[in-house]
Amino acid sequence: MTDPRQRAAWLVSELNRHSRLYHENNEPEISDQEYDALYRELETLEEADPALRLADSPTQRVGGQASAALEPFVHEVPMLSLQNAFSSAELDEFDTRVHRHLGGSAGVIEYQVEPKLDGLAMEIVYEDGLLIRGGTRGDGQVGEDVTHNLRTIPSVPLRLNDAPPGRLSVRGEVLFDLPGFEAMNERRERSGEKRFENPRNAAAGTMRQLDPRMVQGRPLWFYAHSAGLLSVGMRLGSQSELSAQFARWGFRVNPLNAVVDGVAGVVAAIEALRQRRSTLDYEIDGAVVKVNAFALQEALGFVTRSPRWAIAYKYPPERVRTVLDDVIFSVGRTGAVTPVACLRPVRVGGVTVSRTTLHNQDELARLDLCVGDTVEVERAGDVIPKVVQVVPDEGHALRPRVRYPEGCPECGTGLIRDAEEAATRCPNELGCPAQVRRAILHFASRLCMDIEGLGERMVDQLVGAGLVRVPSDVYRLSMEALLGLDRVGRLSAQNLVNAIMSSRARGLDRVVMALGIRHVGESTARDLARRFGSIDALMAAGPGELQAVDGIGEVVATSVATFMANDRNRQEIEALRSLGVQFAPIAAARSAGGLVGRVFVLTGTLPNLAREDAARLIEAAGGKVSGSVSKKTSYVVAGSEAGSKLEKARELNVAILDEAAMLALLAAPSGAG
């Protein structure tokens, strides 16, 4: 792909996808460093030819989008991000730029160097010294209102000391305390809950809880590091004076912040921080360097998305050595056979690593691995650890080289190499038990049909007993069949049947994703559902029509068209439909302008739809979901045990719908009603 136009478009779509994975799903696939490298490549292309600059390029805005369930939080002053530096040479360049912009007469610049806290960025607004509200960064313009959760954090002052100004917005990071994080994970494990991946994800997940009782008691801290709005009359001359003032107001300020002279001072301070890093009770991923004097900050100003007066220095990813004990081959949902390194357990970047993927044949060849080799393992940020290289030693040549097996490790079928994707696959799609299990697990997973109770153990049993071979078999399961399985009681069988039944109403986008079409993830499924509106239209679409959808390229279009042209897949879709799975045409209302501008409030328990599913359907039709009833509310959708919101709706004369009426409204061609 050498055409700069194509490359730039690809970079935009990749960067936006990764930004969503990082900010909205807390599930990054690549490291910050890899993201930054792609970002820089795009910046360079766009600078060389501004005509390549797309409206949705991440260089044209700051971040991802706010999620549905929490109220939006609008930042009066946008929350910007920082440019990054990865070496002292880049810090030097930063200092040179600062001097150049200041006209060369500035002398040695005073900087404040602060730990770069690896937490969740927040803004908290105070009026006359009282906490009014607070929200996440979101896309920098609009985040999510999490006031209810912020209030539960002990280090967030509810009232400020020391004659606070009329209006103030404080910015900082919410961090998970590391010992507390470990203790919480151990408790979760004991009670059968899933461990949190890392402290940052735990902080993000916690702050987005709807119920503040879930937040209370979690070991969270808030550190203040900058100001959004600072009302006139505050006479503060520098960043360090602001930090001192934060402390007087009652905020926690990082004691490791240091004021230093020139770039030599900066480099020394960053080195000192690096040495303290592993002893800290919270995670940092670098240092933030800020020109100290506000007058100079003002003179320097901003470039599109970041200030000229500050830079984030990022530590290189941590790298450690360990021994490769074994390599096993695992069969995925689409039949891809992936080598997995079994490592002697080692701590790197805050987690203990014992297994990690080696991706594919090319990567095996690159690494030239032998079982028993000493290897270097790296973990950058939140991403999965990576085997970087073998440490050469005398024994290497004598050890057995790691090779792909000839046959599938699960079913013995001869493996084939997919040249285009560098993947090696087992072609026995419907007969290979590993593929069947993974396909069913994917179908039932949270982002797809979300069938609670259909987890790994149950799927193993169902596939093992021959009860389930394709997804539609799930809807054929009877109580009797389930009761015949090992250790399945009447209650859990009934719960599972109920969960299966209610999963039929998840909507078109989720079914499309659940089908497991190669290259079709959450956002592509949503785009397809929106554009085609029904499964029949999608089945009829040729590659050309598919490629006309924004964000869908040749590879995805071909994959979808091939899937839909396959008789077995068409039969499976018909089977799902005849078993009551709804392929609701959610796009009809939207494309006609539908529910755009209408605000819905959900209250009580709906008979069939979970609240998130109802919200998703409303949003897919262009509507908005809000948490409280006001004059701006268009409809209140009420289920059983609806309380004060229903009363308020009656008081304000807001239209009240039940689930059926809501679905009818969503399905109406004009969305009118």
- DSSP run (H or E) holding 176: strand 167-176
CB of 118 to ligand IVH, least distance (A): 7
d(C-alpha 518, C-alpha 104), whole Å: 56
Among 307, 385, 533, 623, binds ligand IVH (CB under 6 A): 307
**Identity of the residue, 137 or 530, whose beta carbon is nearer to ligand IVH in the bound complex:** 137
Per rule CB under 6 A, is residue 312 in the interface with ligand IVH?
A: yes
Per rule CB under 6 A, is residue 144 in the interface with ligand IVH?
A: no
**Amino acid at residue number 483:** L
Q: Using CB under 6 A, which of the segments 75-83, 126-134, 367-375, 659-667 binds ligand IVH?
A: 75-83
Identify residues 460-489 at the interface with ligand IVH (CB under 6 A). none
Cα-Cα end-to-end distance for the chain = 49
**Identity of the residue, 228 or 409, whose beta carbon is nearer to ligand IVH in the bound complex:** 228
- DSSP run (H or E) holding 121: strand 120-127
Per rule CB under 6 A, is residue 308 in the interface with ligand IVH?
A: no
Residues 6+ apart with CB under 8 A from 402: 327, 339, 364, 369, 370, 371
**Identity of the residue, 117 or 432, whose beta carbon is nearer to ligand IVH in the bound complex:** 117
Q: Is 600 helix (H, G, I), strand (E, B) or coil?
A: strand
Among 21, 38, 45, 82, binds ligand IVH (CB under 6 A): 82
d(C-alpha 128, C-alpha 106), whole Å: 37
CA distances from 281 to 154, 168, 207, 347, 671 (A): 17, 29, 19, 16, 53
Q: Using CB under 6 A, which of the segments 12-20, 74-82, 334-342, 645-653 binds ligand IVH?
A: 74-82
CB of 640 to ligand IVH, least distance (A): 42
**Identity of the residue, 117 or 454, whose beta carbon is nearer to ligand IVH in the bound complex:** 117
> Could you list the active site residues?
116
Per rule CB under 6 A, is residue 81 in the interface with ligand IVH?
A: yes
Among 12, 80, 311, 666, binds ligand IVH (CB under 6 A): 80
Q: Using CB under 6 A, which of the segments 7-15, 306-314, 596-604, 629-637 binds ligand IVH?
A: 306-314
User: Are the C-beta atoms of residues 349 and 385 closer than 8 Å to each other?
Assistant: yes
Phi, psi of 341 (to 5 degrees): -80, 130
Among 173, 450, 473, 613, binds ligand IVH (CB under 6 A): 173
Between strands 84-85 and 310-314, the pairing is parallel
CB of 310 to ligand IVH, least distance (A): 6
d(C-alpha 527, C-alpha 524), whole Å: 5
CB of 378 to ligand IVH, least distance (A): 22
Q: Using CB under 6 A, which of the segments 112-120, 382-390, 473-481, 610-618 binds ligand IVH?
A: 112-120
Among 12, 52, 117, 517, binds ligand IVH (CB under 6 A): 117
Give the burial string for 639-654 (b: 16+ CB within 10 Å, else e): beebeebbebbeeeeb
256's tokens = 């490791």
Residues 6+ apart with CB under 8 A from 68: 612, 615, 616, 619, 625
80's tokens = 């910007």
Per rule CB under 6 A, is residue 114 in the interface with ligand IVH?
A: yes
Per rule CB under 6 A, is residue 359 in the interface with ligand IVH?
A: no
Mark 210-249 with x for binding to ligand IVH (rule: CB under 6 A) and - for no binding.
Answer: ---------------xx-----------------------
**Residue least distant from ligand IVH (Cβ):** 121
User: Are the C-beta atoms of residues 117 and 175 closer than 8 Å to each other?
Assistant: yes
Residues that bind ligand IVH in the complex, under the rule CB under 6 A? 80-82, 114, 116-117, 121, 137, 173, 225-226, 288, 307, 310, 312
